[in-house]
A = this chain, B = another copy of it.
Amino acid sequence: MDVSEFRRRGKEAVDAIADYYESMADAAPLPTVEPGYLYKLVPREAPEEPEPFDDIIKDMETKIMPGVTHWQSGNFFGWYPCNSSFPGILGEMYSAMFNVVGFSWLSCPAATELETVVMDWLGRLLGLDSRFLSIKEDGTEGRGGGVIQGSASEAHVVAIIAAREMALARLRAQGVRDADQMGAKMVAYFSDQTHSSGEKAAAIVGCKTRAVASDSAFRLTKEALAAAVEEDRRAGLIPFFVCGTFGTTNTAAIDDLPGIADVAGAEQLWFHVDAAYAGAALACPEFRPLARGVERADSFNFNAHKWMLTNFDCSAMWVADSTHMVNALSIHREYLPRTKGSTTFTKDYRDWQVPLGRRFRALKLWFVLRTYGAAGIRAHIRRHVEWAKWLEAQLLADGRFEMVTPVVFGLAVFRIRPAALPAPTEDAANRANAELARRINADRRVFLLGTKLRGMDVLRPAIGSSHGTKANVELLLAVILEFASAVVADCARGE
Contacts of A161 in B (CB 8 A): 203-204
Q: Are B312 and A346 in contact (CB under 8 A)?
A: no
Stretch of A99-107, A258-266, A287-295, A401-409 with 4 or more beta carbons under 8 angstroms from chain B: A99-107
Contacts of A89 in B (CB 8 A): 6, 10, 93, 96-97, 99
Q: Give CA–CA (A249, B334) in the complex, Å.
A: 10
Q: Are A51 and B341 in contact (CB under 8 A)?
A: no
Q: Are A7 and B14 in contact (CB under 8 A)?
A: yes
Interface residues of A in 105-139 (CB under 8 A from B): 105-111, 113-114, 116-118, 120-122, 124-125, 135
Q: Give CA–CA (A306, B237) in the complex, Å.
A: 44
Interface residues of A in 7-58 (CB under 8 A from B): 7, 9-11, 13-18, 20-22, 30-31, 33-39, 42, 44-51, 53, 55-56
How far apart are A308's CB and chain B's nearest CB, in angstroms?
11
Q: Are B150 and A355 in contact (CB under 8 A)?
A: yes
Q: Are B206 and A97 in contact (CB under 8 A)?
A: no
Q: Are A49 and B11 in contact (CB under 8 A)?
A: no
Stretch of A63-71, A223-231, A386-394, A421-429 with 4 or more beta carbons under 8 angstroms from chain B: A63-71
Q: Which of A96, A205, A451 has the most CB of B within 10 A?
A: A96
Q: Are B200 and A356 in contact (CB under 8 A)?
A: yes
Q: Give CA–CA (A84, B124) in the complex, Å.
A: 35
Contacts of A9 in B (CB 8 A): 86, 90
Q: Which of A55, A72, A86 has the most CB of B within 10 A?
A: A86
Q: Give CA–CA (A233, B164) in the complex, Å.
A: 27
Contacts of A235 in B (CB 8 A): none
Q: Are B68 and A124 in contact (CB under 8 A)?
A: no
Q: Please name the 3 residue pairs, one residue from A and one from B, whose CB atoms are nearest each other, closest first.
A: A67-B110, A10-B14, A84-B99
Q: What are 15 A-B residue pairs whose CB atoms fall within 8 Å in the complex? A: A1-B86, A3-B86, A6-B89, A10-B90, A35-B105, A35-B113, A35-B339, A39-B116, A47-B370, A48-B375, A49-B374, A50-B375, A71-B98, A72-B98, A89-B99
